[in-house]
Structure 1
């Protein structure tokens, strides 16, 4: 391996949405920092099977307003 081209690989703490924590090694941040997750396997619909719409800052409303006129034309 070439010297000086690889990122620093160190230990960080990952904090899940329910508050549980675990330590892992990563290139994220600085040694000893924490990474707080907004979505993880305990809350993501792909793993839980529960669908819900998270409207952050009106993104869903903005999308609906922008594309409200699209669709099949009535005869």
Structure 2
């Protein structure tokens, strides 16, 4: 195996917004922050929850609000 071609790995602590923490090997650094993990993602938990980090749902509702008003 060639020397000095592999990236430096760290024993990283991954921290999710829900509070979950795990220790993994990473090339990103010693602490890695994530927005969603397997403990809070709807696919793994079975609970429906809207994940709206960029305001997409609000923009969609605002854009199509005029169509909803015509129905009523």
* CA positional deviation for 1:20: 4.0
The answer for the alignment partner of 2:34 in structure 1 is: 37
The answer for the alignment partner of 1:10 in structure 2 is: 10
TM-score, L = length of structure 2: 0.63
Structure 1 segment 53-64 matched on structure 2, within 5 A: 53-63=50-60
**Which structure 2 residue ranges, 5 or more long, are not aligned?**
68-72
Aligned residues: 65
Q: Considering fraction of residues, name the structure with more helix.
A: 2
The list of structure 1 runs, each at least 4 consecutive aligned residues, that deviate by more than 3 angstroms after superposition, is none
1:44 & 1:61 partners in 2: Cα distance?
20
